[in-house]
Homo-oligomer: A and B are copies of this chain.
Amino acid sequence: MGKRESVGVALLGAGTVGAGVAQTLADRADALARYGGRPLRLVGVLVRDTAKPRAGLQQDVRLTSDPTALPAADDVDIVIEAMGGEQPALSCIQSALRAGKHVVTANKLVMALHGPELIALAAERGVTLAFEASVGGGIPTIGPLVRDLAGNRITAVNAVINGTTNYMLTRMAREAASYEDALAEAQRNGYAEPDPTDDVDGKDAAYKLAILSTLAFRCTVREPDVYREGIRGLDAADFEYARELGYVIKLLATSRLRDGAVQARVHPAFLPERHPLAKVDGVYNAVELEGDLVGWTMLQGPGAGASPTTSAIVGDVLAIVRASATGSALSGYPDVRERVSILPVTDLETKYYLRLRAYDKPGVMAQITGVLGEMGVSLASIIQKEVPEDAGTPAEVVIITHKARESAVQEAVRKLEALAVVYGAPKLVRIEDGSA
């Protein structure tokens, strides 16, 4: 790559992100050449259908539907992977790295499952694997983490990192929208997929948290290491109580390193209104990093979208081109293959919000508080909404606990559910007020 006059770029995938990248490479060719020191030349694009006309591509750009054709091609210096999904993306990335090509990827799934091995493979081949676009769309997160903050011992990552659910939760809080209405609206506006599972069940956030945690703590944290709960169980009442109590509900992605062990989890959480992440609304994302030197820092912006993702990809490409002008790979990522103990969520100690429905009979509160007391969970407050005396319908009881151990709280919830006076399953939401 050091010898050619231009830098050969292959683009794998021509969906919204791929098309956005191709457009940007064409539109601002001059500015990118000036910044990188050499022109970027798009030599080929991996597409599903080679017959489909592609506007704006130069005549000499090779279109192929064969995933093996471009990663190792002689005239390719940098491979941009914008296919998504595990395969064939993973194989393409591996082939490209093995063939000595630099790789830029937006693929959070591949990085969350295979990141440490791919980073090591790139280092072994003396090339760069860059993946700023895999987390937080256009927000600079990975760069700051591995470079600007590299002198820190990073102790915690807290993030609102899924735009779909944040959009939905914002609607549910502001317009008292139901889960179903919020989802339908997100889908109408293109913020949620037709199958929203990965977003609403927290999997997308868990992928991103695994990547950030791996880099932050410099050890392997994979997606299955992340405890995960989605937003499906929340309803309008939870948002009402949250507001009454001075909280905002967010899908929190959080990980901590303590005594050499990592706890990583994605779940809805009550955040105090004044919490920086509580103010991140709609499709915006934010990542808080805690380090022993910097203290606290937060990076915020658009967490998804073709254009912000293109921003991150082109930033990575330019960094590689500038570094390779001197014949080297970009100073990349540390070796993160070391395994680390993962703490289960039952080890968590925090405050809890517990909402349940109970038949309003004499002694019912005594039974409920008795169960909690028995498990050593002490109460900060109880709210019982008045119901018409003859209604026969269960009353809603909301309990806020003092700091308690998750294992004890979960056991208490199981016991509460088994009580004859309790109707249905209690709803449990963790409260993160930063007092940990």
Contact = CB atoms under 8 A, between A and B. Distances in A.
A308 B293 contact: yes
B311 A322 contact: no
Contacts of A329: 326
Interface in A139-187: 139-140, 143-144, 147-153
In the complex, the 7 A-B pairs of residues with the closest C-beta atoms, listed nearest first: A151-B314, A326-B328, A297-B301, A322-B331, A140-B148, A293-B311, A140-B144
**Listed residue (A143, A323, A331) with the most chain B CB atoms within 10 angstroms of its CB:** A331
B152 A319 contact: no
Nearest to A292: B307
Interface string A15-46: 00000000010001001101100000000000
Contacts of A334: 34-35
Contact of A331 (B152, B279, B325): B325
A334 to B, nearest CB: 6
Contacts of A331: 319, 322-323, 325-326, 330
Interface of A: 24, 28, 31-32, 34-35, 126, 132, 138-140, 143-144, 147-153, 218, 276, 279, 291, 293-302, 305, 307-308, 310-315, 317-319, 322-323, 325-332, 334
A406 B218 CA distance: 52
A298 B301 contact: yes
B143 A297 contact: no
28 contacts: A24-B151, A32-B151, A126-B326, A138-B149, A138-B295, A139-B294, A143-B144, A144-B144, A144-B299, A147-B147, A147-B318, A148-B315, A151-B317, A293-B314, A294-B301, A294-B311, A295-B302, A295-B308, A296-B302, A298-B300, A299-B299, A300-B300, A322-B331, A323-B323, A323-B328, A323-B331, A328-B328, A330-B331
Given A139-B297, A140-B144, 12 more contacts: A28-B153, A32-B151, A138-B295, A140-B147, A148-B315, A150-B314, A294-B307, A295-B302, A297-B300, A298-B299, A323-B323, A326-B329
Contacts of A328: 323, 326-328
A28 to B, nearest CB: 8
A315 B147 contact: yes
A317 B293 CA distance: 15
A301 B293 contact: no
B138 A315 contact: no
A204 B364 CA distance: 63
Contact of A302 (B294, B325, B330): B294
Contact of A143 (B143, B298, B300): B143
Contacts of A132: 148
A306 to B, nearest CB: 9
B318 A293 contact: no
Nearest to A151: B314
B148 A312 contact: yes
Given A143-B143, A323-B328, A327-B328, A310 B298 contact: no
A308 B327 contact: no
B276 A300 contact: yes
A326 B330 CA distance: 9
A332 to B, nearest CB: 8
Nearest to A319: B147
B140 A310 contact: no
A185 to B, nearest CB: 21
Contact of A151 (B144, B295, B311, B327): B311
A296 B301 contact: yes
A122 B415 CA distance: 68
Nearest to A330: B331
B310 A151 contact: yes
Nearest to A313: B151
Contact of A140 (B299, B301, B305, B315): B299
A276 B300 CA distance: 10
Contacts of A311: 148-149, 151-152, 291, 293-294
